Chains A and B, each alone.
Chain A
């Protein structure tokens, strides 16, 4: 076993399996599975939404991997996948809104799959060609991902509201409105993490300055940090629960 262990990369940070993270991953898996079912049966815009939620599940599940933090380039790729996920989901909701206004459904499902794979492949190539990301660089990737998530989640709440207004008296309207709740929790989840990152109070920064010996003012702002961490933890869980609940409800409506 020791001879095998020497072949494996070193684990720099202790692996902590948070119960919340595991529960979240299960819920995101439910959402991904149901949205995949929709994408086969219904129109192309559900393909965009389902691919997006599948990518979220994938990036969430990857972070449970004990070696997640050891393969820096893979970690960077998964932050990019997380960003692509919310972009694809947003694209799906925007197409849904366009449908409610024009009643036109155009384009093929395979285009969504191929474009997503293409974007991820291109990102992978770019990250692979560049130097191995340091912890600071990985943190930058994470800030980028959180920023994209935060602003697109706000936009998607607005989109969902507009779609609901157009579909108000249709059978599926309430199911669509539930996505507004999902995105609300996502705004809190990613927003709280982004807040900590911007003020350099996040765990990644604390780990970095452990090595560099840099000082931090975290002790002075313990209240804000604790509140943000509390919001981050519970809104992450609630976003997972709400997305699984929303898809279950939609599955019941559209079956």
Chain B
């Protein structure tokens, strides 16, 4: 059973038909994002793991078959996104420690693989992780339940299970899963320490924008946020109950488009620079913070266009934020 923890949501279940992949991933890159972006498609899942804004690893998990990793996973995800309009995009932020521990889940060395809990000494496994100061992810699972324990330098830093909303500090439920009939255990570890690990950015190895446009040209004619896409979202009862859902990634993409159309090529990086100064993308939704952001943007915009167009741009941005609020 494939399980990923949930962190602070940046976006949840955004229809993939509304996502411009290079723009969305560019946002994560520019905001020094720690966490993962998940593309839940009809029969597959693509997950991109970020540490400090760098795309460190990717996983493509088709249902029932073997998974792909890194560049193959990115390529497969792009192709599936282009072919499949009915997907959902989510992005969750974690602390850097958890994100690094998640790396073990993506490409850690398999210390234990599908070992039955009844056949191993679980305490000894925990001692081994502790004794060797592993950066690891321990996964306990049955056919119906799954739980994760994240380790940093041999010490547990977080616990997650399939019915949790976020990573917590209580190991109770994970231990319960470990005690279930037929429970199995995987232990994946990263040998390098967090400080010394070589975290190669997969963005540098693959021209994402080009891959995306090539994939779209070959398969798609036009893609837009159509009503059909929203109807295919999972029914509300199946979605986790959230008091407030913000389509932050789509909002940022919209603002970026507005900045580009009024200011040209420099509009996007100018907006991203101002957004990076905020403490989080959700700040755009606060009126005072938004006005401050727009005032900073205006200063740079004065060197690129005239005051009438700047005013139109700022009004358009306010309208875009109001639409998403």
Contact = CB atoms under 8 A, between A and B. Distances in A.
B305 A103 contact: no
Nearest to B304: A170
Contacts of A168: 264-265
Interface residues of B, number: 18
B306 A253 contact: yes
B266 A170 contact: yes
Contact of B266 (A104, A167, A253, A254): A167
Interface of A: 41-43, 45, 96, 99-100, 103-105, 166-173, 253-255
Interface string B127-146: 00000000000000000000
Given A167-B264, A168-B265, A170-B264, A105 B300 contact: yes
Contacts of B269: 103
Contacts of A169: 264-265
A171 B300 contact: no
A41 B299 CA distance: 10
B264 A99 contact: no
A196 to B, nearest CB: 39
Contacts, number: 57
Contacts of B191: none
Contacts of B307: 41, 254-255
B302 interface: yes
B270 interface: yes
A181 B82 CA distance: 48
Nearest to A166: B266
B273 A170 contact: no
A154 to B, nearest CB: 24
30 contacts: A41-B307, A96-B303, A100-B266, A103-B266, A103-B269, A103-B273, A103-B300, A105-B299, A105-B303, A167-B265, A167-B266, A168-B264, A169-B264, A169-B265, A170-B264, A170-B265, A170-B267, A170-B305, A171-B264, A171-B304, A171-B306, A172-B303, A172-B305, A173-B264, A253-B306, A254-B302, A254-B305, A254-B307, A255-B306, A255-B308
A228 to B, nearest CB: 38
A110 to B, nearest CB: 17
A248 B313 CA distance: 24
B270 A167 contact: no
Closest 3 CB pairs of A and B: A170-B264, A169-B264, A171-B305
Interface in B269-306: 269-270, 273, 299-300, 302-306
